[in-house]
Amino acid sequence: MSENPRTVGPNDTPGTLHPNPAPERSLVEEMGALVDDIRQIATDIGARPYRVHLVRVCWTGGRVGAGDSQVVEETELLPTPALDTFEGVRSEMRSGGLVERGNARLREVSPRYTEDELRGLFGCANTLPVGEQVFVEVRMDARDGTDVVRRRFVVVGVPYRKADAFEWRVNLLRQDENRTRTGRLPVPGMR
C-alpha cells in the first residue's frame, strides 16, 4: 500500500474545514418555503397530474388483515410531489386476472418535512398502533373525471433527503388491494 504523498490532509487543517454549525438555519433550509411555492406552480398549471395520498387504516381484529378495516386518516402530500413515471410498474397476467407489479419513485417531496415526520406519515417509523397500517395511494387528478383508479403502494427503503435539489425522494413498491374508485377499502380475500 502506497503512502499519501500529500503532507496535509483535509482533517489536518483545524479551523478551516468543519461541519455546518447551524444546518437548520442554512440557506438551503431557509429556501424550503420558496421552493414549495415554486413547485405549487407546476400543480396550478396542470404539470402534476398524479396526486399522492397517505392512507392510514385500522383493522377491528387487532392486527392487520383481521376483521374489518376502516380509513382512520387520509393526508395529501403537498405541494404535489413529482412521480418518476410508472415505467417501473408493469401489468402482468395472472390466473386471477391482470395485476400491476413494480416500483415508482416520488421526487420533490417538500424539504420542509423532517425525516421523522415522513417516516410517521408513510407508516415506516414503527410508531403505528397495533392493527393499523399506512399505504400510499396515487391517483390522477380530476382531468380524467373523479372516478379514477387509486393505485396502492408502500414505501421501500428509507426516505432520502437530497438537499442540493431541495427535496426528499421516496421509493415505492406497487401493492395489490387498491381501494375502489369511490374510496372503499377492499374486502379481505376478495378480488
The per-residue pLDDT for range 130-145, each reduced to its tens digit, is 899 999 999 999 898 8
Q: Where are the domains of the chain?
A: 22-140+147-174
CA distances from 189 to 70, 71, 100, 177, 178 (A): 16, 18, 18, 9, 13
Q: How confident is the model at residue 190 (pLDDT cuts 50, 70, 90)?
A: low
User: Nine-digit cell at 75?
Assistant: 393526508
Alpha helices in the chain (DSSP H): 27-30, 32-44, 115-121
Question: What is each CA distance from 57 to 50, 161, 168, in whole angstroms?
Answer: 22, 27, 24
Is the pLDDT assigned to residue 188 strictly greater than 70?
no
Distance from C-alpha of 64 to C-alpha of 137, rounded to nearest angstrom: 18
Is the pLDDT reported for residue 27 higher than 60? yes
The pLDDT of residue 185 is: 87
Q: What is the pLDDT of residues 146-183, one digit of tens each?
A: 888 899 999 998 999 999 999 999 999 998 888 888 88
Rounded distance, CA 173 to CA 153, Å? 5
- Cell readout for 86 is 410508472
Q: What is the pLDDT of residue 101?
A: 84
Q: What is the pLDDT of residues 69-119, one digit of tens each?
A: 899 999 999 999 999 867 777 777 777 777 778 889 999 999 999 999 998
d(CA 188, CA 176): 11
